[in-house]
Chains A and B, each alone.
Chain A
Amino acid sequence: MSAILQAHHVEKYYGNRNNLTKALDGISFDVDAGEFMGVMGASGSGKTTLLNCISTIDTATSGQILIGGVDVTAMHAKALAKFRREELGFIFQDFNLLDTLTAYENIALALTILDTPHREIDRRTQDAARILGISDVLKKYPYQMSGGQRQRVASARAIVTEPSLVLADEPTGALDSKSARMLLERFEHLVEQRNATILMVTHDAFSASYCNRILFIRDGKLFHELVRGGASRKQFFDRIIEVISLLGGDANDII
């Protein structure tokens, strides 16, 4: 399989020479097409900074980030917006749906800003909604839906453009366990059936146990890597817990 995302020695520094914070301290890794990759770490470990750099919302101080073979660290602001809407899909912790639009319109929005023909918009929106199991709430406004439904609408919006890479920032953070499980099963389904590539940042071991591979970050550095391989979800979960206890600190993250 080819690498969708390649990160080479990515560094992100804040502050000045006298007071330097290394949020990312030389991180390198690859994500292959069709992978469901997790990034874990305690608060302040740099995982959100990493996600922001990959998602082109933030710029790295040095190093290279290649998405689909294109170096996003060398792109101009205008090209970045185009790149974001064509190659990336975003899922945020707080859903970030437009409250004035219905579910259908929220999903379709990702396509309308790409100037997609309207017939195709309808077909692809319905299709994405079916995959995420939200076909029956398409006419509703966000405030009429449950948190789980909202997050699945947001996920549908992220995948409807068929991006090379879906970036999910704590997608289960605001969900109850039942909704979280449902969402994660949909993610698995997307990866298996649609060959989608998902990079998910989380500090929840349960959510992480759905991934194929997990990177652990501490103090801006790659600390450990876990590959699920043939293990069951339960076995994988136990191994994640072991690593977290090694990472130390965030006792609250252990379920």
Chain B
Amino acid sequence: MTSFKLALRNVKKSFRDYAIYFLTLTFGVCIFFVFNSIESQQAIMDLTNGQMGILRLLNNVMTTFSVFVSVILGALILYANRFLIRRRKKEFGIYMTLGMEKGAMSRILVSETILVGLISLGVGTAMGVLLSQGMALVTAGLLGAEIGHFEFIFSSAAMWKTVICFGAVFLLTLIFNVFMVQKQNLIDLIYADRKNETFKTPKLFLSVFLFIVAAVLLGGAYFLVSGDGVFGVQTLGVAIVLGVVGTFLFFFSLSGFFLKLLQQNKRVYLKGLNMFVLRQINSKINTTYISMTMVCLMLFISISTLSSGIGVAKGLAESMEKNIPFDAGFLVNAGFTKDGETVRDYPGVDLIRAAKEGGADLSGFAKTYWTTRYYKADGNADMDRELSDMGPRFMKLSDFNTILKNRGVDPIALAPGQFAIDSGFDNEAYVEKLTALAGRAPTIRVGGEKLKTDASLLFQYALYVTQNSGMSPTLIVPDALLDGARPAADVLHIIYKGEGREYDTQCREALKGLPLPSGVERSLETGASVRETSSTATTTIAYLAIYLGIVFLITSAAILAISQLSETSDNISRYGLLRKIGTDERMIHRALFTQILIFFGVPLALALVHAVVGISMVNRVTGMLGTGSILAGSLFMALIMLIVYGGYFFATYLGSKNMLDREYARIE
């Protein structure tokens, strides 16, 4: 069992230097566990069938993305493992000189990998179990579910998923390590710490040229996605390719470019350790530019998902709330014929009479109820095209004012020859379009009369309870003009007697069997059903954004931290020389700080620029985010970035500083 003892001691010994690796691993396991344990959180909630469905859907989405996440975390673990093994080549050299066989060395490594895997799996799962208790409360809040009773939640499904996914990753690491040991030569291991003094960096003028190319490519990518109007998938594809290649060239040429730039300015270049730091970074560029590009792109994804994900979820929830002006809305309109294209003729239905005929007692649960009719008016082809694909629907002024009255809003008046527009939806981009249209004072023709509108007659009220208000405006005209018009749809609005689920159930029950003419479509939406759909979307988007955002964030931060720590230990002799020739301790620490700051800061800065361009593009195309939700999302993102990324940065700096100081103290 000696090899196991040796492994145990090695793990203990290296724990201090690679605490960051262990913590990342543990944190990764924890996050993975928490987001896979969503389904079991139902244990403490009182859920409706609909909410159950949402939870199951959410669980499926998380499971699907977890495969992707485990690939990312697996890549991180393999990457980190490669660094750890490289650092220990000398140690293996000593084992081999002492006559240890490769089989025994493999056994040490296998024990170590298993040990590290077990510890991080154990601790990570334990943390995950604790965290999932708290997350159950958040889930309940997002779903609008009530907490029934408290009990300790343990998701064995999540545990198995975690064990299987990470077990596979550790197994892969193990195979990699054994393979590594088998192909090593003693001579390489013993001289592993002899640094290779010949290093090649790209020629400086080439760097300057490539940097300009990178700037042009990135500028092109930004330009492509910032263009006005809608653009195709192809343009987006080109922009992404340009962006990735540009980012790659940016990191390939950046240090050379700045070296050249600063060499021109002797005052800065020949000051303190500036020269040393720049050369240091430049000498590493051959091995780091690929990982820097990866880190930058991952940070970009992380920043985008964290900020826009939360923003979209928040915006969605808010706009959904606006779609619930009353407690319930029963909509009937024309169905499609069998070919699925032609709309049938809609006869118009008096919903209150239908309710009486069907024996539905509306006053049993409703405090107030009334109907609204939508009409069609042909002959406004120009307007139709401009406003929506479906064509506008018309409403009598008195119906509109009834709706306003029940919403507690003052009624509007129309001067002779005027009409009003209601967007029914406060999507910024859409309202902007309608405002522009109203500003041009367009005319329509209804019931043989010409009507005009202007920007003061544009409203944004949701007119009935609906899942999707769509981009179909309602035109409000004087009652008399619609007397002979064809009906398009009827809506029965209901305001309940009070709060509570029982009214909802009664309402659904009452309207289920309403006798309607054949070929007519019906849909009943209540506040509860809209909120349920909304919470499905918001919870899924928010959880997915946080899950992916954090995984990408810790992965990129951990890659930087591990590579910088390993970089510092490679540089101990260089810093030692600086000390010998009398460089101030403070100056050395500052140089170290600057170097690490540049490695953490530059990818973050470029990722932020990418993200600003990307998010504003998404926002312009989908119109999902209001200014408020962008702000909320960005603040949330900034907070997470500050804690996680900032934490990794300082841990790396302190770790590197301690490594140097410890080495120095040893020499003294």
Listed in ascending order, the chain A residues whose CB lies under 8 Å from chain B are: 57-58, 77-78, 81-86, 88, 90, 92, 96, 98-101, 105, 108-113, 115-116, 118-119, 121-122, 142-143, 157
Contact = CB atoms under 8 A, between A and B. Distances in A.
B198 interface: yes
23 contacts: A57-B667, A58-B668, A77-B585, A81-B582, A83-B582, A84-B581, A92-B580, A96-B580, A98-B279, A100-B199, A100-B280, A101-B275, A109-B581, A112-B271, A112-B272, A112-B273, A113-B273, A113-B587, A115-B271, A116-B270, A118-B269, A142-B197, A143-B198
Interface string B249-267: 0000000000000000011
Task: State the main secondary structure of chain B at its contact with A.
Answer: helix
Given A83-B582, A96-B577, A113-B583, A101 B266 contact: no
A77 B664 CA distance: 12
A85 B283 contact: no
A119 B269 CA distance: 12
Interface of B: 195, 197-199, 266-267, 269-276, 279-280, 282-283, 574, 577-585, 587, 667-668
Contact of A100 (B283, B582, B587): B283
A20 B199 CA distance: 46
A132 to B, nearest CB: 17
Given A96-B577, A100-B280, A113-B272, 15 more contacts: A84-B581, A84-B582, A85-B583, A86-B582, A98-B276, A98-B577, A99-B199, A105-B275, A109-B581, A113-B578, A115-B271, A118-B267, A118-B269, A121-B266, A157-B581
A85 B270 contact: no
Contacts, number: 86
A78 B581 contact: no
Q: Which of A108, A112, A118, A142 neighbours the largest number of chain B CB atoms within 10 Å of its CB? A: A112
B270 A108 contact: yes
B263 to A, nearest CB: 10
A171 to B, nearest CB: 15
B120 to A, nearest CB: 36
B580 A90 contact: yes
B605 to A, nearest CB: 24
A98 to B, nearest CB: 6
A96 B668 CA distance: 18
Nearest to B586: A78
Contact of B197 (A57, A84, A85, A143): A143
Contact of B582 (A92, A96, A113): A113
Contacts of A77: 585
B282 A100 contact: yes
B540 to A, nearest CB: 50
A112 B266 contact: no
B267 A99 contact: no
A121 B270 contact: yes
Contacts of B274: 112
A82 B275 contact: no
A98 B574 contact: yes
A58 to B, nearest CB: 8
